[in-house]
Amino acid sequence: MERFEKINNQEAITQFLVTFITFAVCFGLGCSALSRGSFLAAAALGILSVLLQARLFVLMHDCGHAHFVRPVWLNNLFGHLCALTYGMPFFLWQELHQRHHRHQGNLDKRGQSLDLWIMTKAEFLKSSRLKQWFYRIYHFPLFTFFLGGLLFFIVLMRWPFEKFKWKSQLNLLVMNSLWILCGLIYWQVPGSREYFIYYLLIASVNFVQAIWYFYHQHMHPKIQWYTEKEYSNQKVSLYGSTFIIFPKWVSWFSANIGYHHIHHLNPRIPCYNLVAAQDHLMAVTQASRLTDNSLFLEPIRLQWMDLFRNLDGKVWDSEQKKWLKFSDLPGSFFK
């Protein structure tokens, strides 16, 4: 898969500029429509801004792996500009995301990165009723996706809740200073308030959407988790991540984020090479199947509409190696 790591500067720069400029124009026009009282136009431009901002998040994600564009300073500049549209510190998010890649799918390394709270069946049954209630509320869809998304991006990403590198802390300080400046403008310039609210509505949709996709990338009922002894990058990539098959227009706005299994297999593959990498993987494994079926690597495929289902696998059963509903647990009071 190494050949798909190749960076295409022309493609990367074009993708960034088209997305960033179009987002800025749509958001600006939406604010203008809002000031004129054209609420229908503002809503339409707001929806388009949501889609473009979602794409900027994925481009930021690629920059976070330092393999979107060259030189490195330009890669980081693009990452900071994409993160700015979310009011996020790029270096801090980058550091957290790299921990996610090191520990995702490893039962023995849960809690070492800011991922979803996962308990095994044994841990859950040994927990106090109060802790079980907290865990149940945490995995209630309204909390996980809506409150969880808002809390993560608006609250947790505002302070150094763990030990971070100095550049991440400096980045956080600068971003928080910008937020304070925006707050002062909000209170001192009454005419600016509707624009801030308009921006927050757009960003909040994407805060929720980011957690929604992340959940389905790593919490589907077919997803596997492994002990340290069983763990391998190939297993976690293909059986600990999903392949979400989007319509083509959604794939464009999501910058191929549906090919998440390929991304975990090799995070250095930029988003504009993921489709070719997936085609190559399938061609190789199909050929291997002719001689040795054990070499056939089939990812966990999800259709777009599957994202509105399969929300009931919450507790990992280490013995049966599958997700359980709360109602499946012996003696559970969550029926």
In which band, very low, low, confident or very high, does the pLDDT at 313 lie, cut at 50, 70 and 90? low
Alpha helices in the chain (DSSP H): 9-35, 39-64, 72-84, 90-103, 121-126, 129-138, 141, 148-150, 166-188, 193-218, 233-239, 248-253, 260-265, 274-289
Which whole-number Å values give the CA distances from 71 to 55, 78, 167, 269, 300, in the listed order?
22, 11, 19, 16, 35
In this model, does residue 218 exceed pLDDT 80?
Answer: yes
pLDDT value for 51: 97
Please state the pTM of the whole predicted model.
Answer: 0.91
Residue 185: inside a domain: yes
- Residue 300 falls within a domain, yes or no? yes
Read off the pLDDT of residues 58-116 as tens digits, 9 standing for 90 and up.
999 999 999 999 999 999 999 999 999 999 999 999 999 998 998 888 899 887 777 88
Place of tokens 């297993």: 235
Q: Is residue 75 part of a domain?
A: no
Structural domain includes residue 117: yes
- SS3 assignment, position 111: coil
When comparing pLDDT for 288 and 12, which is higher?
12
Judge whether 55 lies within some domain.
no
* pLDDT at residue 296 tops 60: no
Domain that holds residue 245: 98-328
Q: Work out how many domains the chain is built from and give that number.
A: 1
3-state secondary structure of 123: helix
Asked whether 293 and 32 are in contact (CB, 8 A), the reply is no
pLDDT at 186: 85
* Token pair belonging to 268: 């250095």
Residue at 57 is within a domain:
no
Q: Which pLDDT belongs to residue 71?
A: 96
**pLDDT-derived band of residue 295, with 50, 70 and 90 as boundaries?**
very low
Let me know if residue 83 belongs to a domain: no
Asked if the model's pLDDT at residue 286 lies above 90, the reply is: no
pLDDT digits (tens, 9 = 90+) for 94-103: 999 998 998 8
Predicted confidence at residue 332, as pLDDT, reads 55
